[in-house]
């Protein structure tokens, strides 16, 4: 399975213009009203450019960390992260979630029941370690406490895969 690199549309009003802001060969016409959202005037579609690699890694990290916290809270099945996580990381996350569930049923501790609930990723920092390898850290806040999460991502066949996931 291959993944496509996200692209973002960019409008370049100065492209193919001559003095006066008119395109070559374009007749002078009255100004047009603004186009509805998602539509553009003119025959040429907006040019596309690749989103920066760091921004892509940051978005992947944010989404994966949020999903991992939901797995630990028991509101998301762990298999939904199988595409993104290395098998060893996936097994480790599954084991930790099982331990939390088992301890909750054994003790019935209300503080443990609130653990990992309503988690939100507050910030994500990324750093390129080598070509195709990034390390990231995230701050996650839930009902009980704030915690740090460390992630290592590696690009394999144009797909980012998390090979290390450490939740504090």
Q: What is the mean pLDDT of residues 119-124?
A: 94
Share of the chain above pLDDT 90, in %: 50
- For residue 8, the model assigns a pLDDT of 47
Query: Does 122 score more than 80 pLDDT?
Result: yes
Q: Is the Cβ–Cβ distance between 138 and 149 less than 8 Å?
A: yes
Integer Cα distance of 80 and 90 in angstroms: 10
Integer Cα distance of 138 and 136 in angstroms: 7
- For residue 33, the model assigns a pLDDT of 52
Task: Tell me the pLDDT of the chain averaged across its residues.
Answer: 79
Query: Does 3 score more than 90 pLDDT?
Result: no
Share of the chain above pLDDT 70, in %: 69
pTM, full prediction: 0.67
Query: Does 147 score more than 60 pLDDT?
Result: yes
The pLDDT tens digits of the residues spanning 60-82 come to 999 999 999 999 988 999 999 99
Q: What is the mean pLDDT of residues 9-13?
A: 45
- For residue 16, the model assigns a pLDDT of 45
Res. 12 pLDDT band, cuts 50 70 90: very low
DSSP string, 58-114: HHHHHHHHHHHHHHHHTSS-GGGGTTTB-HHHHHHHHHHHHHHHHHHHHH--HHHHH
Please name the helix (run of DSSP H) or strand (run of DSSP E) that holds residue 53, with its range, or none: helix 53-73
Lowest mean pLDDT among 1-10, 106-115, 158-167: 1-10
């Amino acid at each position: 399975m291959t993944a496509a690199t996200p692209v973002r549309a960019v409008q370049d009003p100065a492209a193919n213009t001559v003095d006066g802001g008119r395109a070559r060969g374009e007749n002078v016409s009255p100004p047009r009203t603004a186009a509805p959202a998602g539509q553009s005037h003119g025959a040429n579609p907006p040019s596309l450019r690749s989103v920066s690699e760091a921004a892509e890694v940051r978005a992947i990290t944010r989404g994966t960390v949020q999903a991992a916290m939901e797995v630990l809270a028991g509101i998301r099945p762990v298999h939904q992260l199988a595409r993104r996580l290395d098998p060893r990381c996936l097994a480790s996350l599954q084991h930790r979630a099982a331990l939390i569930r088992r301890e909750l049923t054994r003790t019935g501790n209300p503080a443990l029941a609130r653990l990992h609930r309503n988690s939100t990723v507050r910030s994500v920092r990324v750093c390129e370690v080598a070509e195709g390898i990034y390390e990231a850290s995230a701050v996650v806040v839930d009902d009980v406490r704030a915690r740090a999460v460390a992630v290592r991502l590696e690009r394999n066949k144009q797909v980012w895969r998390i090979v290390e996931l450490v939740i504090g």
